[in-house]
């Protein structure tokens, strides 16, 4: 079984689950996941998790996202993107770039965002898109998200391109729709590229075809080690003779520690790794770095959030 992280540039026209299925076949293993879906029409970065990398899914799905979005004003659709049926059309008139900058400012910060009716969000246990496809009347639902930055890339009214940095769970097509509603002429998303997830950037990703060609010649260099899935988490190196103790769930005491990159306060999430940086566990520390020297060798440094036991990149069974 392969354990690690692969950055993939998802092509247009396939679902996120399609991509998972392709990787399952490619690597001949069931344990494949990702850190956040992309609509079929969207392209761009997906962080794919292999093997024990899937155990990091909960920690990674909350990472901030970056997108490049193309929006057209003057028309509304029921899906908030180019695939939907037209629900309204109106001459967008004229808008200066300064006015559009002001509009962007109104959507920057923490906002309540309209959830698209054609989305996987659930109402009473059912996905909203299932109800929408049946033509049912769906009450408007909102969620709180945060948009950290909206930057204008190109402006050719009524067509605009923006870069968006936002919290996980933000619907960029809802941003397009609600901008159109505020202007009064409607708007919809014409194209979307995810350009970043946390510290990962689209430029680091491989295309699906590149991935397939690499696997054909047994080149697995695109698989990043698990610790790179959370590069912002400091590594704490564990003495080799105590790795088994950690895997067995025994308390993480000071004498297990070999060396550390950790220099932060108490409560920090850190990765316990072996000398080769293979992940043993994710731990929440009880103490700040400055107090480590004052601790006894038997003092418990923190509690395990998850025991990973990465092992080797390639194991015997999948």
**Which pairs with CB-CB distance under 8 Å and at least 24 residues apart come from 207-213?**
207/8, 207/9, 207/11, 208/8, 208/9, 208/10, 208/11, 208/19, 208/22, 211/6, 211/8, 211/23, 211/26, 212/26
- From 9, 21, 28, 39, active-site residue: 39
User: Are 263 and 289 contacting, i.e. CB atoms less than 8 angstroms apart?
Assistant: yes
CA gap 243, 107 in Å, rounded: 48
Q: Alpha carbon of 58 to those of 63, 165, 271: distances in Å?
A: 10, 20, 15
Q: What secondary structure letter does DSSP report for 155?
A: E
Annotated catalytic, 39?
yes
Six token digits for residue 246: 């950690």
Q: What secondary structure letter does DSSP report for 251?
A: -
Indicate the length of the chain as a whole number: 318
CA gap 261, 98 in Å, rounded: 46
**Which pairs with CB-CB distance under 8 Å and at least 24 residues apart come from 280-287?**
280/238, 280/243, 280/246, 280/247, 280/307, 280/308, 280/309, 280/310, 281/246, 281/247, 281/252, 281/305, 281/306, 281/307, 281/308, 281/309, 282/56, 282/59, 282/233, 282/306, 282/308, 283/236, 283/252
User: Are 49 and 229 contacting, i.e. CB atoms less than 8 angstroms apart?
Assistant: yes
User: Are 252 and 272 contacting, i.e. CB atoms less than 8 angstroms apart?
Assistant: yes
CA gap 159, 279 in Å, rounded: 47
Instruction: List residues with catalytic annotation.
Output: 39
């Amino acid at each position: 079984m392969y354990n690690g992280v692969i950055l993939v540039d998802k092509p247009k026209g396939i679902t996120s689950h399609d991509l998972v299925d392709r990787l399952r076949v490619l690597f001949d293993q069931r344990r494949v996941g990702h850190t956040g879906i992309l609509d079929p029409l969207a392209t761009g970065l997906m962080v794919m998790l292999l093997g024990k990398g899937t155990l990091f899914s909960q920690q990674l799905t909350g990472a901030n996202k970056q997108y490049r979005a193309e929006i057209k004003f003057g028309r509304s659709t029921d899906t908030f993107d180019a695939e939907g049926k037209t629900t309204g059309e109106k001459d967008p008139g004229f808008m200066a770039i300064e006015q559009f900058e002001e509009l962007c400012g109104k959507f920057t910060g923490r906002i309540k965002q309209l959830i698209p009716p054609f989305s996987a969000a659930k109402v009473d246990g059912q996905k909203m898109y299932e109800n929408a496809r049946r033509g049912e009347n769906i009450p408007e639902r909102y969620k709180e998200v945060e948009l950290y930055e909206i930057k204008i890339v190109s402006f050719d009214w009524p067509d605009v391109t923006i870069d968006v940095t936002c919290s996980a769970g933000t619907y960029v097509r809802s941003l397009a729709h609600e901008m159109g509603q505020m202007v009064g002429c409607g708007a919809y998303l014409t194209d979307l590229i995810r350009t970043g997830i946390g510290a990962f950037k689209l430029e680091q990703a491989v295309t699906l075809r590149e991935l397939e060609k690499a696997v054909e010649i047994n080149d697995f260099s695109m698989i990043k080690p698990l610790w790179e899935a959370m590069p912002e988490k400091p590594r704490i190196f564990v003495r080799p003779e105590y790795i088994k103790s950690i895997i067995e769930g025994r308390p993480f005491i000071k004498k297990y520690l070999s060396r550390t990159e950790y220099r932060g306060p108490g409560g920090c999430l850190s990765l316990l790794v072996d000398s080769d940086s293979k992940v043993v566990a994710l731990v929440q520390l009880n103490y700040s770095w400055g107090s480590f020297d004052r601790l006894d060798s038997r003092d418990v440094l923190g509690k395990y959030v998850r025991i990973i036991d990465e092992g080797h990149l390639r194991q015997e069974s999948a």
